[in-house]
Amino acid sequence: MQHTTQPKCIELFAGVGGFRLGLEKAGWDVTWSNQWEPNKTKQWAAEVYRHQFGDDGFVNEDICNVNASRLPDHDLLVGGFPCQDYSVAKPLNQSAGIQGKKGVLWWEIFRILQEKNPTYVLLENVSRLLSTPTNNRGRDFATILACFNALNYVVEWQVINAGDYGYPQSRKRVFILAYKRANDNSRADRNILRKEFPYYQKGNSSAFKLLPEPWETDSNGIIEDISNYLHAVSTVWDGIHKVSKTSPFKDVGIAYGGNVWTVKIEPVYRGPQKTLEMILQDKNVIPEDFYIPEEKLGRWEYLKGSKKEQRVHKETGTAWEYSEGAVTFPDALNRPSRTIVTGEGGTSPSRFKHVIQTEDGRYRRLTPVELERLNGFPDEWTSLEGCPDKNITDGQRAFLMGNALVVGIIEQIGKGVLNASATVR
């Protein structure tokens, strides 16, 4: 794939534009994008996206209603497809996976791939995607791999924690990279796969090296070969992992021509490390309402502390013991922050919101700008600055960052795909 013009990309489930920011820095031209939040009267993510990138090529409507044939031709399709049905924030018995209300949006991606047939696909989701649904671990991801195989794609995936690679936030996500197989089984396929899959040999890496540093595997060779089961989407899981209590998919893998190889890895990174302290704003610009009143500090401490309590079920009256471990309080400044969640905003005490201790001993929450910095966005990205009729709140801005991704990861992957496309084909 030699480019004489800037390679084209379209973006699904665009959010506030994290994919686009990273890909444009990497050299891609994002020509079309879609963002729609169901059951919301105010489309804040779409408002931010429009404010930053304009209306050209942007569609704010349900992707299910978008005619795929009308989408522009493109080399790369990307999307952080909605993860609520896989999220670790959801109780296990409520995790519906690919059949859930938002999990089913995978089939919209599949529909567009069938129509537009791009050379590359890059998707992002929570790492739990590899092990859903709870009653048949791994079935959802197997179905996704089967769909890609049916469309003649090679698929690589890697679970990446941004904090392991120098970024200031511990944000663990699975990145899925698919690319078209050479139809004639020519040198292109052999170059991508290196015949013997050295991707999984200790000290080596993929043709599409997602991050600039290597990793250690837990074996010198391929440690799991789940072969020849991607024969049809409808029967992908039958007879192999019919009812599986553990997922066969580890944190790195490749699926190629009906075969799947997967391995566990440990990141090895020796570059500079950003910490939570490094992204904090100057104390002189922090609004007073981000500081926690002393009389409310006890409630914060309780919620973040360990517990073992007798409780009574409201409906049945049955007594049960509730227990949970402690969350670091206040948050450590000398390492990457915990993951931003959608409930980060607002003044009410919470177990999950970040709280830091300042030099004068006071405690405060993180500001929207600090949350943007943790994800690698420019300051005030979500503020709708200059739009006086758009009154977005700090809580809404925090929600948007809880749904966003780490921009630098996308930039690195985007550069890797461009480099590979210039040398492999």
CA 306 to each of CA 324, 329, 331, 357: distance values in angstroms, whole numbers, following the listed order: 6, 11, 15, 20
Six-digit token pair at 61? 């409507």
Give yes or no for a contact between 137 and 244, defined as CB atoms under 8 angstroms apart: yes
pLDDT at position 316 is: 87
Using omega within 30 degrees of 0 as the cis cutoff, is the peptide bond preceding 293 cis?
no
d(CA 9, CA 163): 27
pLDDT at position 183 is: 56
Q: Which one of 9, 64, 83, 147 is the catalytic residue?
A: 83
pLDDT at position 382 is: 97
Give catalytic status of residue 83 as yes or no: yes
Of 154, 158, 130, 275, give the one whose Cα is nearest residue 214. Answer: 158
Six-digit token pair at 286? 């922090």
pLDDT at position 75 is: 94
Strand 215-217 and strand 225-227: the pairing is unpaired
Identify each DSSP E strand in 137-171 by its residue range.
153-161
Instruction: Spell out the residues 6+ positions from residue 198 whose beta carbon is closer than 8 angstroms to its own.
Output: 204
Strand 29-34 and strand 265-267: the pairing is unpaired
Taking only the tens place, the pLDDT of each residue in 40-81 is: 889 999 999 999 999 999 999 999 999 999 999 999 999 998
Instruction: Spell out the residues 6+ positions from residue 112 whose beta carbon is closer than 8 angstroms to its own.
Output: 12, 68, 71, 77
In the CATH scheme, what is the homologous superfamily, with its name and number, of domain 8-271+406-423? Vaccinia Virus protein VP39 (3.40.50.150)
pLDDT at position 4 is: 55
Using omega within 30 degrees of 0 as the cis cutoff, is the peptide bond preceding 82 cis?
no
Task: List the beta bridge partners of residue 414.
Answer: none
The domain limits of the chain are 8-271+406-423, 281-332+341-390
SS3 content of the chain, % helix, strand, coil (to 5): 30, 20, 50
d(CA 11, CA 80): 9
**74 Rama class: left (phi>0) / alpha (psi -120 to 50) / beta:** beta
Report, as ranges of residue numbers, the positions in the chain whose pLDDT lies below 50.
1-2, 85-97, 100, 102, 184-215, 219-241, 424-425
**181 Rama class: left (phi>0) / alpha (psi -120 to 50) / beta:** beta
pLDDT at position 103 is: 52
Report which residue type is found at 75. Answer: D
DSSP 337: B
